[in-house]
Structure 1
Amino acid sequence: MRRAIDTVAVVGSGAMGRGIAEACLRRGLTVILHDASPTALDTACNALAASLQRAAAKGQLTPDDAAQVLEHLVPSEELAGIHAANLVIEAVPERLELKLAVLRNIETSVSAETIIATNTSSIPITRLSLPFADPSRFLGLHFFNPVSKMPLVEVISTMETDDKVQNTIELFVRDQLGKTPLVVTDRPGFVVNALLIPFLLSAARMMDSGYASAEAIDEGMTLGCGHPMGPLKLSDLVGLDVVCEVADALYDGTKDAALIVPNNLRRLLERGHLGQKSGRGFYSYT
């Protein structure tokens, strides 16, 4: 019988790592946040504190509750600091070799009972399970950005994932995080990104061809199809670098021409225009 999940370690303190950490903190869990970079870790902790203060200002938390939640955040520059976690969620950048190396080190840093998950958005979970001595405790746990607002989490097992591990994680997502677990099979892009990324690239390709402006494309999908946000604005929100990384990973696994990144999107990346987070993407945010 595995222990109940009360302590979660998040490895990687970027936007997704911070979002996952905050989601867990706000549901009363202790969170060990690890990043090998002291600067990145400090930035993440400050960002989490600021986010909780904003939540208190909006009345979502009392100031005392926000301060109490933050007391359950344990920053750790050393990977050995994650040892006490019942669940470790890897959230480093979407690069195969980096994830393999990090996951290999995570397994040797935790107890045999600890469940290990990856937050990959596109790399097959089976491929990421290769370094594990015990792949039965490993699975995919794909959160969506922004984690605080998105209610869905994809749960992806491999053929070797223990059924009890999957069941534990389904209960964790639903009962402890208050989100909806979507159990899907292990394939490139799973369900959401396998549908979403070709859609986003198709919109960029239509703009690149000169067929329609960014505004016309987005209005077509919001006013004509009832989407809450057009595909180009959504790409800017997700991050154009993230869209390209996921597209490249999906193309590598499928060789589907619909996943080839169009020229205009590549050029934006080369200029450092990543979307909202950099102040410019398909639209200007300055």
Structure 2
Amino acid sequence: MANIKTIGVVGAGAMGSGIAIVMATNGYKVILRDIKEEYVQTGLDRISKFMDNSIKRGKLTEEGKQEVLNRITATTSLQDMKDVDLVIEVVIEDMDIKQQVFKELDEIVREDVVLATNTSSMSITEIASVVKNPSRVAGMHFFNPAQIMKLVEVIRGLETSDETVETLRQVAESAKKEVVEVKKDVPGFIVNRIMIPQFIEAIKVLEEGIASKEDIDKAMRYGLNHPMGAFELQDYAGVDIGYFVMEYFQKEFADNRWAPPLLMKNMMRAGRNGKKAGKGFYDYE
């Protein structure tokens, strides 16, 4: 593995701050960047709150918290990534925005620095197409909350090198994560490729009046031994995220089987009209 000591995390939202905790807890220095000071501060507050809860549960000491915080430097300037040894991009799931971030990073970081994206579904090859050397770009998909969930998907783009994949594998394993390699750049990788059809079918079962959302979730918890049912999980992750992933799958696969069900479309329409914005399945009767 390359001599990686400092990791840049671009995006200080829930996922970005979680990844920052993971890396700083495991001895890496972290440069945490977002576009506004308020976003950066919210990320830092989220990190501090998580560690305070860990202290209450006896999992962390106050001294340990301070050690982790001392390893994290917050910034609003992408230029502060110039000396990092690895970058993990964790911005919004929008291809144009991701490509703009990678274009800028390509001009800032050293030529040997791996550029990873935390996208949950989007094409690694397309993201990598804007940099001069796409062999150093790969997916490094953490799961929410990153500081709790053990899995990391490492995803190859069409031109991703073996060295890039191995670097990300070793970094993830050094952070005590379980790693799976996605050998082909396909929408949704492994987990979302399997999970999204479950979401779609659960919504259709609800739409068709076969069972209530409560009983569907109970069936998945106790019949499939899932820790959360489909509707609980969608509400936790954000219904809008699942909706956009379904739309992306429908477009990329050119297959209407991946289309968001009508109930989900109507929930999104209500949110866009300013009604029940941000609500989940359990907020509707």
**Normalising by the residue count of structure 1, what TM-score does the alignment of the two structures yield?**
0.93
User: Quick one: distance in 2 between partners of 1:67 and 1:108?
Assistant: 33
User: Quick one: distance in 2 between partners of 1:64 and 1:88?
Assistant: 27
Residue equivalent to 1:191: 190
The answer to whether the Cα contact below 8 Å between 2:150 and 2:177 also exists between their aligned partners in 1 is: yes
Residue equivalent to 2:244: 245
Residue equivalent to 1:180: 178
Residue equivalent to 1:32: 31
Residue equivalent to 2:78: 79
User: Quick one: distance in 2 between partners of 1:51 and 1:94?
Assistant: 24
Stretches of structure 1 that go unaligned for 5 or more consecutive residues are: none
Provide the secondary structure at the position in 1 that maps to 2:281. Answer: coil
Provide the secondary structure at the position in 1 that maps to 2:108. Answer: coil
The answer to whether the Cα contact below 8 Å between 1:41 and 1:77 also exists between their aligned partners in 2 is: yes
Cα shift at 1:3: 3.5
Residue equivalent to 1:117: 116
Residue equivalent to 1:153: 152
Cα shift at 1:210: 2.3
Cα shift at 1:110: 0.7
The letter of the residue matching 1:202 is E
Cα shift at 1:280: 3.9
Cα shift at 1:256: 2.6
The answer to whether the Cα contact below 8 Å between 1:125 and 1:186 also exists between their aligned partners in 2 is: yes
Residue equivalent to 2:260: 261
The letter of the residue matching 1:228 is P
Deviations 1:186-234 (A, max 9, x none): 1111111011011112111221222221011111212222222111111
In the alignment, is residue 96 of structure 1 matched against residue 95 of structure 2?
A: yes
Cα shift at 1:251: 1.5
Provide the secondary structure at the position in 2 that maps to 1:108. Answer: helix
The letter of the residue matching 2:179 is P
The letter of the residue matching 1:26 is T
Percent of residue pairs bearing the same amino acid type = 34
The answer to whether the Cα contact below 8 Å between 2:135 and 2:160 also exists between their aligned partners in 1 is: yes
User: Quick one: distance in 2 between partners of 1:199 and 1:153?
Assistant: 21
| Regions of 4+ moved over 6 Å | none
The answer to whether the Cα contact below 8 Å between 1:94 and 1:246 also exists between their aligned partners in 2 is: no
Cα shift at 1:66: 0.4
Cα shift at 1:279: 7.7
Provide the secondary structure at the position in 1 that maps to 2:209. Answer: coil
Residue equivalent to 1:230: 229
User: Quick one: distance in 2 between partners of 1:257 and 1:77?
Assistant: 41
Greater Cα shift, 32-41 or 160-169: 160-169
User: Quick one: distance in 2 between partners of 1:267 and 1:39?
Assistant: 32
In the alignment, is residue 19 of structure 1 matched against residue 33 of structure 2?
A: no
Residue equivalent to 2:201: 202
In the alignment, is residue 65 of structure 1 matched against residue 64 of structure 2?
A: yes
Greater Cα shift, 140-149 or 247-256: 247-256
Cα shift at 1:236: 0.8
User: Quick one: distance in 2 between partners of 1:61 and 1:279?
Assistant: 33
User: Quick one: distance in 2 between partners of 1:126 and 1:188?
Assistant: 11
Aligned residue runs from structure 1 range 107-146, under 5 A: 107-146=106-145
The answer to whether the Cα contact below 8 Å between 1:207 and 1:213 also exists between their aligned partners in 2 is: yes
User: Quick one: distance in 1 between partners of 2:12 and 2:93?
Assistant: 13
Provide the secondary structure at the position in 1 that maps to 2:201. Answer: helix
User: Quick one: distance in 1 between partners of 2:85 and 2:11?
Assistant: 17
Provide the secondary structure at the position in 1 that maps to 2:79. Answer: helix
Residue equivalent to 1:9: 8
Cα shift at 1:183: 0.4
User: Quick one: distance in 2 between partners of 1:117 and 1:208?
Assistant: 39
The answer to whether the Cα contact below 8 Å between 1:100 and 1:128 also exists between their aligned partners in 2 is: yes
The letter of the residue matching 2:133 is D
